[in-house]
Amino acid sequence: MLMGDLLEEFFRRPYVAAKVAEGKLPDTWRAIVGDRAADVTTELRLENRILHVRIQSSVLRSELFYQRDALRDEINRRSGLRLINAVIIR
């Protein structure tokens, strides 16, 4: 077996894949919401499959609040697994 095959198999394991996706979460968030929203995001924390997001801008916070389900679905789609069950915007 080649080293590349071993690494590919390792990164496909559910726990490892979830940890890699969690590590990429800030970049995924920026790609989905854009630079402006990512710049005013002061907290991005994943606990028990719930993503806690703190936004400084009240206007942006309200706008993203109504898009929570779409944000969850897009994060899960980009990560390739069910990483998040819910998004809480504060």
Q: What is the mean pLDDT of residues 65-80?
A: 95
Domain count of the fold of the chain: 1
Task: Read off the tokens for 88.
Answer: 């809480």
Please report the pLDDT score of residue 8 as a whole number.
81
Return d(Cα 21, Cα 19) in angstroms, integer: 5
pLDDT attached to residue 83: 92
CA–CA separation, 38 vs 10, rounded Å?
A: 31
Q: How far apart are CA 22 and CA 62, in angstroms?
A: 25
Is residue 77's pLDDT more than 80? yes
Q: At what angle do helices 68-79 and 25-33 cross, to 10 degrees?
A: 130
Residue with the two structure tokens 């069950």 = 85
* CA–CA distance, 18 with 12 (Å, rounded to integer): 9
Asked if residue 69 has pLDDT above 80, the reply is yes
Residue 1: is its pLDDT beyond 80?
A: no
Instruction: Provide the domain limits for residue 79.
Output: 3-89
**Model confidence pLDDT, tens digit, residues 5-64:** 888 888 778 788 888 889 999 999 999 999 999 999 999 999 999 999 999 999 999 999
Q: Does position 65 have pLDDT exceeding 80, yes or no?
A: yes
